């Protein structure tokens, strides 16, 4: 199939893009990398009347570390995240996760801002943002707005962005030198949509978690920051406690049934990832430790 007819304009600046969005409102869609938007349009899942192309806005591209914050421009491509020494040093969870985003052709064109604004609940990067405590920076007619990643994703393909706002950058707290991370997903083959995945960020002291953030994806209508993880902080993790956390996690997860898996299967796989994550984080002696899938 092909997309329905639409009008098109290439923005020459962020201000120009915002003017175009203001003129067309909810009839417009923003085009960045196009790796999610164009297939959806071709399948007639969405039919915007107007496309605002921001793909050439250099001001929305780049990676910078300053005052303990990693700032990533919205148009930074996945491949740039994957190859960035700044990301590897200050947010290695992102480096591990991006390697699982689709395939090289997609990573060469897709952007981090496009992925977050698309808000696919099976996507890796939204869960990483939740686990890392990131802040989403949006710009609109009223100026700049800062949105915590934990409230940015509001449903399947839905975010806290208004039709008149543009996602311009992401701020990620630089991870401490004693932090560790974990990333793994279950998929039928590498690059396919995840059946269940987990992005985790942790800090430890004396073999106990002082902080633990578990961001599950493909388990509901948005990434899930597991509240059950709080019970693993500042305590000795025993098999009995982990069993209790597994039961609590199963109550938090509200997965849908689809062609890939039943809700029961997703709950089971989430608990498998929970156990692997805790074991990996507690047993690895090297810092920034992760487990590949």
**CB-based burial label for 141 (10 Å; 0-12, 13-18, 19+):** exposed
Inform me whether the pLDDT recorded for 285 exceeds 50. no
Every domain range in the chain assigned CATH 3.30.390.50: 179-283
- For residue 45, name the pLDDT band (cuts at 50, 70, 90): confident
For the domain made up of 179-283, the CATH class stated in words is alpha beta
- Encoded tokens for 250: 């199963």
- The beta strands (E) that lie in the chain are given as 7-10, 28-31, 50-53, 63-66, 69-73, 135-140, 143-148, 153-155, 158-159, 166-173, 179-186, 196-205, 208-217, 224-225
Q: Rounded to whole angstroms, how far apart are CA atoms 25 and 145?
A: 18
The whole-number average pLDDT for the span 65-87 is: 97
pLDDT of 2 reads 87
Q: When comparing pLDDT for 66 and 2, which is higher? A: 66
- For residue 290, name the pLDDT band (cuts at 50, 70, 90): very low
Percent residues over pLDDT 90 in the chain:
87
Q: When comparing pLDDT for 138 and 207, which is higher? A: 138
Inform me whether the pLDDT recorded for 287 exceeds 80. no
pLDDT of 291 reads 38
Q: Answer for the pair 223, 217: CB distance below 8 angstroms, yes or no.
A: yes
Neighbours of 253 (CB within 10 A): 18
Cα dihedral sign, 218-193-6-11: positive
Inform me whether the pLDDT recorded for 293 exceeds 60. no
Inform me whether the pLDDT recorded for 292 exceeds 60. no
Write phi, then psi, for 167 (nearest 5 degrees): -75, 120
pTM: 0.93
Q: Rounded to whole angstroms, how far apart are CA atoms 84 and 99?
A: 12
The whole-number average pLDDT for the span 284-288 is: 45
| pLDDT tens by residue, 120-133 | 999 999 999 999 99
The whole-number average pLDDT for the span 227-231 is: 97
The whole-number average pLDDT for the span 201-213 is: 95
Every domain range in the chain assigned CATH 3.30.465.10: 60-173
Q: Which CATH architecture has domain 7-53?
A: 2-Layer Sandwich (3.30)
Quote the Cα angle for 154-160-164, to 5°: 145
Q: Answer for the pair 228, 245: CB distance below 8 angstroms, yes or no.
A: yes
- For residue 288, name the pLDDT band (cuts at 50, 70, 90): very low
Q: Answer for the pair 270, 278: CB distance below 8 angstroms, yes or no.
A: no
Residue length, the chain? 293
pLDDT of 116 reads 98
Cα dihedral sign, 260-271-151-287: negative
Q: Answer for the pair 23, 46: CB distance below 8 angstroms, yes or no.
A: no
Inform me whether the pLDDT recorded for 4 exceeds 80. yes
Write phi, then psi, for 51 (nearest 5 degrees): -110, 130
Average pLDDT value for the chain: 94
- For residue 284, name the pLDDT band (cuts at 50, 70, 90): low
| pLDDT tens by residue, 254-270 | 998 888 899 999 999 99
Inform me whether the pLDDT recorded for 176 exceeds 60. yes
Q: Which CATH architecture has domain 60-173?
A: 2-Layer Sandwich (3.30)
Q: Rounded to whole angstroms, how far apart are CA atoms 30 and 50?
A: 9
Q: Rounded to whole angstroms, how far apart are CA atoms 8 and 1?
A: 19
CA atoms within 13 A on the CB side of 205: 5
The whole-number average pLDDT for the span 29-42 is: 92
Give the 3-state secondary structure of residue 163: coil
pLDDT of 280 reads 96
- Strand duo 7-10 + 224-225: pairing: unpaired
Percent residues over pLDDT 70 in the chain:
97
């Amino acid at each position: 199939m092909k997309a329905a007819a639409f009008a098109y304009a290439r923005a020459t600046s962020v201000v120009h893009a915002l003017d175009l969005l203001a003129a067309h409102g909810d009839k417009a869609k923003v085009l960045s990398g196009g790796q999610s938007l164009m297939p959806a349009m071709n399948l007639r899942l969405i039919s915007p009347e107007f496309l605002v192309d921001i793909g050439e806005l250099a001001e929305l591209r780049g990676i910078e570390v300053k005052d303990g914050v990693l700032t990533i421009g919205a148009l930074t491509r996945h491949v740039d995240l994957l190859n960035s020494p700044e990301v590897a040093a200050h947010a290695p969870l992102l480096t591990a996760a991006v390697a699982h985003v689709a395939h090289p052709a997609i990573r060469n064109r897709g952007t981090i801002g496009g992925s977050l604004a698309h808000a696919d609940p099976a996507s890796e990067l939204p869960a990483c943002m939740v686990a890392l405590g990131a802040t989403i920076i949006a710009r609109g007619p009223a100026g700049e707005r800062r949105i915590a990643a934990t409230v940015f994703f509001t449903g399947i393909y839905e975010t806290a962005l208004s039709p008149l706002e543009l996602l311009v950058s992401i701020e990620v707290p630089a991870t401490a030198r004693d932090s560790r991370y974990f990333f793994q997903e279950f998929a039928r083959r590498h690059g396919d949509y995840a059946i269940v995945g987990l992005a985790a960020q942790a800090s430890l002291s004396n073999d106990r978690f002082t902080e633990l953030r578990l961001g599950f994806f493909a388990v509901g209508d948005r990434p899930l920051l597991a509240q059950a993880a709080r019970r693993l902080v500042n305590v000795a993790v025993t098999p009995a406690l982990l069993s209790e956390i597994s039961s609590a996690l199963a109550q938090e997860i509200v997965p849908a049934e689809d062609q890939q898996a039943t809700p029961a299967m997703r709950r089971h796989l989430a608990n498998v990832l929970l156990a692997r994550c805790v074991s990996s984080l507690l047993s690895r002696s090297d810092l920034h430790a992760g487990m590949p899938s």
